[in-house]
Amino acid sequence: MTKQQELDALYTFASELGTGSYVGEWLLHIFPQVEREIRSDYVPMQTVRDTISKAEEKAKWIVVAAETEAERILRRAKAELAAADAARMDAQAEFDKAERLRSSILSAIAAAESRISNA
């Protein structure tokens, strides 16, 4: 089969499917590109391979960008957790200090009441 015969068969097929089919309109849309590639001896599958290759390259870049962002988020979360732990420890120390002060005050009140009662 010649190039022209293949092109004629493809165009006829696409035309018979028409615009109401799933692929007819698409085939008619890409036909000029397919025709150029066949006439240039550029195998149409090469276009598919090139598209897949470009998509794979972009996917790799997207994965690297996502991993980098995930690492940044994780570092920030760990830093915020460390800050929260430090604040909790500070708050616990302040609470313990307040409890000791409260206990001392209660002891002083109890001692004062005892002296007043015994006087």
Summarised one tens digit per residue, pLDDT across range 41-95 is 776 677 778 889 999 999 999 999 999 999 999 999 999 999 999 999 999 999 9
d(C-alpha 111, C-alpha 115), whole Å: 6
Query: How many domains would you assign to the chain?
Result: 1
> Domain span at residue 16?
1-42
Tell me if 16 is assigned to some domain: yes
Task: Name the pTM for this structure.
Answer: 0.47
| 5 pLDDT higher than 80 | yes
Tell me if 118 is assigned to some domain: no
Tell me if 59 is assigned to some domain: no
Tell me if 52 is assigned to some domain: no
Tell me if 114 is assigned to some domain: no
- Please tell me the least confidently modeled range out of 22-26, 34-38, 44-48, 91-95: 44-48
- What is the pLDDT, as a whole number, of residue 98? 96
Tell me if 113 is assigned to some domain: no
- What is the pLDDT, as a whole number, of residue 44? 67
